[in-house]
């Protein structure tokens, strides 16, 4: 391997490390998968689509769309199936957004992530308690919302990992 080929390989590896770091943004509730896709498109354009073509980019975009849908469905469905009322499920959604925004100034990116999880629990608890006035039921709804939010983040990150695998294969596979 000559010097230029070695530098090209090292550059692609560093790019993949940066892209892998973007996956962590999914846990915070930020669009890590979309940023991963955006940087992949920029890379493809800068390299004249030699290693990364439209088919790979389309597969990555499809995975990003699936991840968004699954994130919503998994989180809300788990919360609803574990005993939260519609109002409790709505509270989980609203609380998660409010918690992430309110905690945005606290040690980014950890603050918004913790705020989203805490807000999901608090929102489900408060809305459920407001509708039924039963402490135990509200606690179960809050716990279900918290676990549902964790599962949703895990599913979204898994889809992002698949996107990263498509990218890694295209960038590192022998030509």
Evaluated on CA atoms 136, 113, 163, 158, the torsion sign reads negative
1: pLDDT strictly greater than 80: no
Separation of alpha carbons 116 and 122, rounded Å: 10
Angle (deg, nearest 10), helices 54-81 and 32-46: 180
28: pLDDT strictly greater than 80: no
Amino acid 175: pLDDT: 75
Separation of alpha carbons 58 and 64, rounded Å: 10
> Domain range spanning residue 120?
3-172
* Cβ atoms of residues 96 and 122 within 8 Å: no
32-41 pLDDT, tens digit per residue, is 999 999 999 9
78-108 pLDDT, tens digit per residue, is 888 887 888 988 998 899 889 988 988 887 7
How many structural domains are present in the chain? 1
């Amino acid at each position: 391997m000559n010097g230029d080929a070695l530098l090209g390989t090292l550059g692609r590896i560093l790019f993949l490390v940066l892209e892998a770091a973007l996956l962590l943004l999914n846990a915070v509730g930020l669009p890590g998968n979309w940023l991963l896709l955006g940087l992949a498109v920029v890379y493809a354009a800068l390299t004249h689509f030699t290693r990364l073509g439209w088919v790979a980019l389309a597969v990555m975009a499809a995975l990003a769309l699936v991840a968004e849908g699954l994130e919503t469905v998994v989180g809300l469905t788990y919360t609803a199936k574990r005993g939260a009322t519609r109002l409790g499920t709505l509270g989980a959604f609203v609380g998660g957004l409010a918690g992430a925004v309110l905690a945005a100034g606290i040690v980014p990116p950890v603050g918004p992530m913790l705020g989203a999880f805490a807000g999901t629990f608090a929102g489900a608890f408060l809305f459920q308690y407001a509708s039924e006035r039963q402490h135990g039921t509200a606690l179960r709804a809050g716990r279900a919302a918290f676990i549902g939010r964790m599962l949703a983040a895990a599913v979204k990150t898994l889809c992002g990992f698949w996107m990263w695998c498509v990218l890694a294969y295209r960038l590192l596979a022998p030509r």
